[in-house]
Amino acid sequence: MTEPLVRVENLTKHFPIRKGMLIERVVGAVQAVDSISFTIERGETLGMVGESGCGKTTAGRTLLGLYPATSGRTIIDGHSVHEARGSELMQVRRKAQMIFQDPYASLNPRWTVNSIVSEPLRVHKLLPNQKARNERVKELLELVGLNARHINRFPHEFSGGQRQRIGIARALASEPLFIVCDEPISALDVSIQAQVVNLLEKLQDQLGLTYLFVAHDLSMVRHICDRVAVMYLGIMVELAERDELYENPLHPYTKALLSAVPVPDPRKERERKRVILTGDVPSPINPPSGCRFHPRCPIAVERCKVDVPEWRELKPGHHVACHLAEN
């Protein structure tokens, strides 16, 4: 078996909370991501789902090295992201790119499409001169389904879906192997979402890309991903092959999450039994003891309040962190 393209080992990101004006001291930490481990194979799409504040975006950013990790590491194509320096770091940055959620905020409004998309080419000194870069930008625009003649336009002249395509073209400019897609479609209308998702799939086939697809839309994740990881309050609670996860979820949180997803079928909706969770997600500053899900868990027992559940492989390829996953 070949080495996976991305290997994440016990990755942890805590944001310190400081207090005091002159003498600043750290009084606590937001435990955004706590010791998550997984791998992504070459050409695979791994979905990462969870609700707001579960740490999925922080996980994506930390594993790319956009945030320094509190502990743990990421190996991308043989390079340790957080230890790499100098030219090795540039190598990692070139191979691993990101597509952001908000197509309005992630493009500089004062730059032309040409400057935006050619920036990675300039930074990584991939092409010798301006002319070659212009040609490459035009090629990239065509690749993502934009008109190459619009190269000198500004972001405000494009619709949301088109802007997201510009973001994708920028991510592709440095010929990456791996792209973290952070909620790339959640700001778009339904009719445009399908266009962007189909584009991402086409590019994956053409260029052999590997994706980490961070999203809260569970229907879209089932459609686009090969395997899916579920996050809750900074920890990974379940990871399995797509259909296995949706058809045989083992963690009570995954079960509740899936039962809450509305399905566009009135008959099915009327017959469905929902697991309605009570309360809200607790604060990641003082996460609950034991299993972090126990205060909202419908099947929690005494043990869940004390023991942190182990990350276990219950069936081949199906991992879960729950004491009671067997029953």
Q: Would you tell me which residues interact with another protein (CB under 8 A)?
A: 51-52, 159, 161-162, 189-195, 197-198, 201, 216, 218-220, 222-224, 242-243, 246, 256-270, 272, 274, 276-278, 280-281
- Residue whose CB is less far from another protein, 148 or 194: 194
Closest contact distance (angstroms) between CB of 168 and another protein is 15
Measured CA to CA, the distance from residue 60 to residue 40 in angstroms comes to 13
CA 25 to the chain's CA centroid: 32
Closest contact distance (angstroms) between CB of 160 and another protein is 9
* Cα atoms found within 13 Å of the Cα of residue 6, Cβ hemisphere only: 27
- Residue whose CB is less far from another protein, 130 or 219: 219
Quick check: 37 and 8 in contact, CB under 8 A?
yes
User: What are the tokens at 8?
Assistant: 């994440």
Closest contact distance (angstroms) between CB of 321 and another protein is 18
- Residue whose CB is less far from another protein, 139 or 247: 247
Quick check: 69 and 13 in contact, CB under 8 A?
yes
Closest contact distance (angstroms) between CB of 114 and another protein is 22
Closest contact distance (angstroms) between CB of 103 and another protein is 13
Closest contact distance (angstroms) between CB of 243 and another protein is 6
- Residue whose CB is less far from another protein, 170 or 242: 242
For tokens 């002249």, the residue is 157
CA 18 to the chain's CA centroid: 28
Measured CA to CA, the distance from residue 321 to residue 303 in angstroms comes to 14
HEC string of 87-136?
Answer: HHHHHHHHHEEEECCCCCCCCCCCCCHHHHHHHHHHHCCCCCCHHHHHHH
Closest contact distance (angstroms) between CB of 93 and another protein is 31
User: What are the tokens at 138?
Assistant: 């035009």
Cα torsion at 233, 7, 221, 227 (round to 10°)?
Answer: -110
- Residue whose CB is less far from another protein, 126 or 288: 288
Closest contact distance (angstroms) between CB of 107 and another protein is 17
- Measured between alpha carbons, how far apart are the two ends of the chain, in Å? 33
Closest contact distance (angstroms) between CB of 164 and another protein is 12
- Residue whose CB is less far from another protein, 32 or 173: 32
Quick check: 309 and 293 in contact, CB under 8 A?
no
Measured CA to CA, the distance from residue 129 to residue 121 in angstroms comes to 10
Closest CA to 234 of 284, 281, 288, 300: 284
Cα torsion at 188, 192, 196, 198 (round to 10°)?
Answer: 140
